[in-house]
Structure 1
Amino acid sequence: MNTISVRAALGAASPVEPGGDRVADIGSLLDDGPFTRMQKLVVLLAALSIVLDGFDGQLIGFAIPLMIQEWGISREAFAPAVAAGLIGMGIGSACAGLFADRFGRRTAVVASVFLFGSATCAIGLAPDALTVALLRFVAGLGIGGALPSATTMTAEFTPARRRTVAVTATIVCVPLGGMLAGLFSAHILPLYGWRMLFFLGGALPLALGFLLLVALPESPRFLARRPGRWKELGRLLGRMERPMASGMRYIDALEQAKEKQDGFRALFAPGYGRDTLAIWVAFFMCLTAVYSAFSWLPTMLLSEGLPLAVAGSGLTAYNLGGVIGALVCASVMTRWGSFWPLLVCCAAGAASAFAMLALDADRQSALLIFGFGVHGLFVNAVQSTLYALCAYIYPTSVRATGTASALAFGRLGAILSAFAGAGVISLSGAQGYLILLGTVMLLALLALTQVRRHIPVAWGRQVPAGGADGRAGERLLATGVREEER
């Protein structure tokens, strides 16, 4: 079978099969072609979805101290409400991957944004913690679904040479959203209270949802796998500066070469099982650390006697560090791959948590806030890179499922953090809390040493398009295994 590369497509040349069919390789068109304005718009829309995902997901952490005070309940009594949201996120992550692989990435992103936006608005009307728990569960379904779907959309619209940076840059939008939530809460909570915080926080994703309905296209790789939508794909490629002749057939040659079976079982096919289990454990540990901060960091600082404004700034600093860390780690990966940057960041995340054990919250509050910023830098660098690692390892047919299942397993760690965070704060205060953060990052480090298909240097740089070097690069991208590992 003859296929056309992006050069032939852009030159309006279309090889013809003996039967008269014109065939184009969607993988070559996307991976070897330019990164056009249309593709950048899609990445921007996916990034905005993730910003508001992080924004709405972290509003509860800033509101908990006031909600507990208004209703006169303990931290432990409110923990189920926190856990309900995280359970919803886990279910949403798992279901969104299967949904996106079957019905499309666009549909999954749009539905998720509308779901968590409407549920967040409704929390502003909640009369008690039980109602908050129910609504946070519904919001969690959308929050959990938006992240893997938007990440997959980013990966499938971005040329291979830019994919690591693009995926990591979109994932960095989670702590960016959390940082914006902190700044937003600092202005809204003192003036209007926690109910208005949720009203306004839910209205933003609803507005974005309508924008996505108008402007967000479906993934070209998803469309290429459905012959009934090839005309739609042809029009989309034209908007992406890849004009195609009418009647074109599409394949994804490199992806087909590595696809053995579809569905969840493919994650445990020969050569994938070890990586899948290791990534699941890494996600579990990392999300335990992340959501221990998202849910309980302001409450922990408040329990140490710090004012509410200072306590809230701890989570804002954590997210600011996360933004910086994710961007720096993405840049470092283009030189060193993912193995050593991930291990170093895990070790530094653990060390920064243990180092804060020596600080006195009353006398060294500024240094403590800075310490959480440093800790957030390393932890979120790891977390954002894990999504890029999933996008690298899994083929198109199960990429959303692979990413979503890892995130869903990681959400179990987030659920654990809802109870573990409240428990260690009540039993041992800041010391127990910091030991928890440091320990789980050490366990994440151990898990990541077991991953075989770490992102190589070539994935973050220009992949040659032709000749022997080009074919070697394509083989590496297709299999995820360095030649010397075979």
Structure 2
Amino acid sequence: MTTRTERLDGLPFTRKHRKLLLGSGVGWALDAMDVGLISFVMAALAVQWSLTPTELSWIGSIGFVGMALGAAFGGLLADRIGRRQVFAATLLVYGLATGAAALSTGIAMLIVLRFIVGLGLGAELPVASTLVSEFAPRKIRGRVVVILEGFWAVGWIMAAVIGYFVVPASDDGWRWALAIGLVPAAYALVVRFGLPESVRYLESKDRHAEAENVVREFESAAGVAAPTAAAGGTSGSVTTSATADPAATAPGTADAAATAAAVPAAATDEPRESIWSPRLRRRTAGLWIVWFGINFSYYGAFIWLPSLLVAQGFDLVKSFGYTLIITLAQLPGYAVAAWLIEVWGRRVTLAVFLAGSAVSAGLFGLAGSPATIIAAGMALSFFNLGAWGALYAIGPELYPTRTRGSGTGAAAAFGRIASIIAPLLVPILLSSGGSPLVFGVFAAAFVVAALAAFTLPERKGVALENT
């Protein structure tokens, strides 16, 4: 007896997987571009609108208020109406809101629209990682999710390029930068009609014929023969013919509807297991602490980075140039994490990259010359974004199908609380102890997150839970 999820787990990485990864990754990159753009817009508006540090803090933080709510509700919706549907809706919401923000006439309008942007951004990330995780072959699942997270670096680099070339070009440069954020709204159509729905989600809703069709499409892409139905099997299970030659059988020749009909309905009327159940509460608590620490330090540092460089005496163009160089180090960070996560495992990789982030943050706080600022900043980018990749890989693996979206969404929502606090706290820390204190606090948060990573179970090579 082989279940549909086992059939997916046993497939090689095919063009269908590549299409799903690329399609989800582009959405992920657009998300990162939007988050990154606001750091450059803040630096420009500080000069153009003569904004105070407190006003800038609210522009930076309000989006994360929306992201916290979006992550929580997006995960719940993904478990109820599907991963793909929520993914497409989030792109539409934050794309339209970002375009509208380009027309802002004052800080109040900008803050309201950035909140709406945050709702879409927050909902997208845990949903996209859950969707990709549920399709990725078991042996390389962690690596595939880290590659997905690697698209974040692509998006942030796009934001840095736009920030460097577009924002300083004119007084309306920041408006043109935000107008580019309309692209995700159009891309929502690609996600809605071009990507498959999660097989595990479809089975949880008794949509077995659709689930079977999706699995057969992936099997066909791999050149694997579709198995025959086995009456009386377990939910989502089929058996392979003992006499048929898999290499000679044309994929998809059996009737998918007949196969689905032979499968008993899943027990969807049973209550879902709470993420705080005795079995899951330890991993939930550990995951929430990691999410909080990494959000606090990452967004506190990178949302303020261009403005901090301007405050140190660098002009706008030079500050944006340094930020662009620092951002480029995110790509090799993801690449190394993608390799190590299937060698060392999820937990160790996550902890090591968080520890490296802590050391880098401390060095950045002490940096004074352009050379040391760039070197420490690149190290922070490398380790921090590698840690993000490992975190997104391990999250969906901790929960069963019926709570996977809500479990990862709740952790992301809790982490967004830290991303709200951090930008607001930066001006206070700066006035009390300057950059050394700011980045010393960030380093401490990374250390706490690294320790919490060791409380998470290691899921390397383990199948995702279906129930």
TM-score in terms of structure 2 length = 0.87
Match of 2:161 among 157, 179, 183: 183
Moved more, 84-93 or 435-444: 435-444
For residues 434-474 of structure 1, the C-alpha deviation after alignment (integer angstroms, 9 at most, x for no partner) is 212211111111212222x1233xx2xxxxxxxxxxxxxxx
2:358 paired with 1:350: yes
- Determine the C-alpha separation between the residues in 1 that align with 2:269 and 2:36: 39
In the alignment, which residue of structure 1 is the partner of 2:312? 304
- Determine the C-alpha separation between the residues in 1 that align with 2:41 and 2:151: 21
Taking the TM superposition and a 5 Å limit, the aligned residue runs for 1:403-418 are 403-418=408-423
Contact 1:179 1:315 in 2 (8 A): no
Q: Which residue type is aligned with residue 84 of structure 1?
A: I
- Determine the C-alpha separation between the residues in 2 that align with 1:428 and 1:313: 26
Q: Which residue type is aligned with residue 19 of structure 2?
A: L
How far apart are 1:426 and its partner, in Å?
Answer: 3.8
Structure 2 vs 1, CA of residues 68 and 107 (structure 1 numbering), >3 Å: closer, same or farther? same
In the alignment, which residue of structure 1 is the partner of 2:463? 477
Match of 1:441 among 410, 421, 446: 446
- Determine the C-alpha separation between the residues in 2 that align with 1:315 and 1:398: 38
For residues 231-262 of structure 1, the C-alpha deviation after alignment (integer angstroms, 9 at most, x for no partner) is 33333333221525332238999xx99x9975
Structure 2 vs 1, CA of residues 438 and 304 (structure 1 numbering), >3 Å: closer, same or farther? same
- Determine the C-alpha separation between the residues in 2 that align with 1:455 and 1:425: 40
Contact 1:224 1:251 in 2 (8 A): no
2:392 paired with 1:387: yes
- Determine the C-alpha separation between the residues in 1 that align with 2:444 and 2:99: 36
Contact 2:31 2:121 in 1 (8 A): yes
In the alignment, which residue of structure 2 is the partner of 1:97? 75
How far apart are 1:203 and its partner, in Å?
Answer: 2.1
Q: Which residue type is aligned with residue 348 of structure 1?
A: G
- Determine the C-alpha separation between the residues in 2 that align with 1:287 and 1:252: 43
- Determine the C-alpha separation between the residues in 2 that align with 1:146 and 1:250: 33
- Determine the C-alpha separation between the residues in 2 that align with 1:318 and 1:155: 29
How far apart are 1:343 and its partner, in Å?
Answer: 2.2
Contact 1:175 1:319 in 2 (8 A): yes
SS at match of 1:182: helix
SS at match of 2:274: helix
Contact 1:165 1:331 in 2 (8 A): yes
Structure 2 vs 1, CA of residues 124 and 381 (structure 1 numbering), >3 Å: closer, same or farther? same
How far apart are 1:150 and its partner, in Å?
Answer: 0.8
Contact 1:89 1:142 in 2 (8 A): yes
Q: Which residue type is aligned with residue 218 of structure 1?
A: E
Structure 2 vs 1, CA of residues 30 and 186 (structure 1 numbering), >3 Å: closer, same or farther? same
- Determine the C-alpha separation between the residues in 2 that align with 1:252 and 1:309: 62
- Determine the C-alpha separation between the residues in 2 that align with 1:158 and 1:262: 27
Match of 2:178 among 198, 218, 233: 198
SS at match of 1:454: coil
How far apart are 1:116 and its partner, in Å?
Answer: 0.5
In the alignment, which residue of structure 1 is the partner of 2:335? 327
For residues 69-94 of structure 1, the C-alpha deviation after alignment (integer angstroms, 9 at most, x for no partner) is 22222111222222211000010001
For residues 94-135 of structure 1, the C-alpha deviation after alignment (integer angstroms, 9 at most, x for no partner) is 111000110001101000001010000011111111111100
- Determine the C-alpha separation between the residues in 1 that align with 2:116 and 2:322: 27
- Determine the C-alpha separation between the residues in 2 that align with 1:156 and 1:251: 23
Q: Which residue type is aligned with residue 339 of structure 2?
A: S
In the alignment, which residue of structure 1 is the partner of 2:234? none
In the alignment, which residue of structure 1 is the partner of 2:38? 60
Q: Which residue type is aligned with residue 337 of structure 1?
A: G
Structure 2 vs 1, CA of residues 376 and 122 (structure 1 numbering), >3 Å: closer, same or farther? same
Higher helix share: 1
2:459 paired with 1:455: yes
Root-mean-square deviation (CA), in Å?
A: 2.3
Q: Which runs of 5+ in 2 are unaligned?
A: 221-225, 227-251
- Determine the C-alpha separation between the residues in 1 that align with 2:271 and 2:7: 23
- Determine the C-alpha separation between the residues in 1 that align with 2:29 and 2:105: 28
Contact 1:55 1:177 in 2 (8 A): yes
2:200 paired with 1:221: yes
2:120 paired with 1:129: no
In the alignment, which residue of structure 2 is the partner of 1:83? 61
Contact 1:176 1:319 in 2 (8 A): no
How far apart are 1:26 and its partner, in Å?
Answer: 1.5
Structure 2 vs 1, CA of residues 314 and 397 (structure 1 numbering), >3 Å: closer, same or farther? farther
Structure 2 vs 1, CA of residues 251 and 311 (structure 1 numbering), >3 Å: closer, same or farther? farther
How far apart are 1:147 and its partner, in Å?
Answer: 0.7
SS at match of 1:248: helix
Taking the TM superposition and a 5 Å limit, the aligned residue runs for 1:139-218 are 139-192=117-170, 193-200=173-180, 202-218=181-197
How far apart are 1:390 and its partner, in Å?
Answer: 1.0
Structure 2 vs 1, CA of residues 219 and 68 (structure 1 numbering), >3 Å: closer, same or farther? same
Structure 2 vs 1, CA of residues 348 and 85 (structure 1 numbering), >3 Å: closer, same or farther? same
Taking the TM superposition and a 5 Å limit, the aligned residue runs for 1:362-401 are 364-401=369-406
Contact 2:142 2:346 in 1 (8 A): no
In the alignment, which residue of structure 1 is the partner of 2:259? 248
In the alignment, which residue of structure 2 is the partner of 1:337? 345
- Determine the C-alpha separation between the residues in 1 that align with 2:53 and 2:41: 12
Identity of aligned residues (%): 27
- Determine the C-alpha separation between the residues in 1 that align with 2:94 and 2:36: 12
SS at match of 2:93: helix
Q: Which runs of 5+ in 1 are unaligned?
A: 6-24, 460-475, 481-486
- Determine the C-alpha separation between the residues in 1 that align with 2:100 and 2:68: 21
- Determine the C-alpha separation between the residues in 1 that align with 2:397 and 2:31: 23
SS at match of 1:266: coil
In the alignment, which residue of structure 1 is the partner of 2:235? none
2:296 paired with 1:288: yes
- Across the two proteins, how many residue pairs are aligned to each other? 430
In the alignment, which residue of structure 2 is the partner of 1:431? 436
How far apart are 1:418 and its partner, in Å?
Answer: 1.8
Q: Which residue type is aligned with residue 292 of structure 2?
A: F
Contact 2:346 2:393 in 1 (8 A): no
Contact 1:314 1:373 in 2 (8 A): no
Contact 1:78 1:129 in 2 (8 A): no
Moved more, 265-274 or 244-253: 244-253
Contact 1:262 1:398 in 2 (8 A): no
For residues 27-53 of structure 1, the C-alpha deviation after alignment (integer angstroms, 9 at most, x for no partner) is 112111233212221111111110001
